[in-house]
Structure 1
Amino acid sequence: MIPVIDCSVRYFEKSKYRALQIRNKWPTHAGQSFIDCLTEEMNRNNVRSAVLVSEIDGDFYQHGELLAITEDNSEKFIAAPLINPNRKNEKNNLQRYIEYGIRAVKLSELGHHSNPLQPVKLNSITSFALWEIFSKYALTVFVRPTVYDSNLLAYLAAAFPEVNVIIESSMVSISPRQATVDEWGRPRLNLPLPTMDRYTLWGLSNFPNVSVVLASQYSFSRCDWPYVDLIDWHGLENFIALFGAERLMWGSDFPFTCINPGYQKCLQTFDGLDHDISPNDLQFVFSRTAEKLLLQKPYAVT
Structure 2
Amino acid sequence: MKDNDFRIVDTHCHAGNNWFEPIESLIFQMENNGVDGGVLIQHGGNFDNEYLFEVTEQYPDKFKVVCLVDPSEENPIKYLEKLTKKGAAGIRMSPNSKFDSIDVKDLWSICGELGLAVSVIGDLEDFSAIHFAEIIDKNPKTKIVLEHLAGFSNYKAQKGELMSFHELIIQYKKVLEYGSRDNVYMKIPGLGEIEPRPGILSPSFTLIDSRGIVEMTLEIFGSEKLMWGSDFPPVSNREGYRNALNWIKESKTFSKNEKDDIFNNVPKKVFGI
* Same structural fold, with TM-score higher than 0.5 when normalized by the shorter chain: yes
How far 1:132 sits from its partner (Å)?
Answer: 2.2
Match of 1:267 in 2: 245
Q: Does 1:164 align with 2:168?
A: no
Match of 2:72 in 1: 87
Q: Does 1:290 align with 2:267?
A: yes
CA distance in 1, matches of 2:72, 2:137: 25
Match of 1:202 in 2: 176
Once the two structures are overlaid, the 10-residue window that deviates more, 41-50 or 258-267, is: 258-267
- Paired amino acid for 1:256: P
- Paired amino acid for 1:244: G
CA distance in 1, matches of 2:89, 2:11: 14
Q: Does 1:14 align with 2:14?
A: no
Helix, strand or coil at the partner of 1:211: strand
Match of 1:187 in 2: none
Provide structure 1 residue ranges, at least 5 long, that are not aligned to the other structure: 19-33, 114-124, 180-189, 297-302
Is the Cα–Cα contact under 8 Å of residues 67 and 92 in structure 2 kept in the other structure? yes
- Paired amino acid for 2:263: F
- Paired amino acid for 2:90: A
How far 1:291 sits from its partner (Å)?
Answer: 1.3
Helix, strand or coil at the partner of 2:260: helix
Match of 1:192 in 2: 164
Provide structure 2 residue ranges, at least 5 long, that are not aligned to the other structure: 199-204
Helix, strand or coil at the partner of 1:101: coil
Are the structure 2 counterparts of residues 279 and 220 from structure 1 closer, same or farther at C-alpha, using a change threshold of 3 Å? closer
Match of 2:119 in 1: 142
Helix, strand or coil at the partner of 1:239: helix
Match of 1:245 in 2: 223
How far 1:216 sits from its partner (Å)?
Answer: 5.0
How far 1:295 sits from its partner (Å)?
Answer: 1.7
1:98 to 69, 72, 84: 84
How far 1:112 sits from its partner (Å)?
Answer: 7.2
Are the structure 2 counterparts of residues 147 and 265 from structure 1 closer, same or farther at C-alpha, using a change threshold of 3 Å? closer
Is the Cα–Cα contact under 8 Å of residues 188 and 229 in structure 2 kept in the other structure? yes
How far 1:93 sits from its partner (Å)?
Answer: 2.9
- Paired amino acid for 1:200: K
How far 1:98 sits from its partner (Å)?
Answer: 1.9
- Paired amino acid for 1:209: N
Match of 1:76 in 2: 62
Using the aligned pairs only, state the percent identity. Answer: 19
Is the Cα–Cα contact under 8 Å of residues 178 and 191 in structure 1 kept in the other structure? no
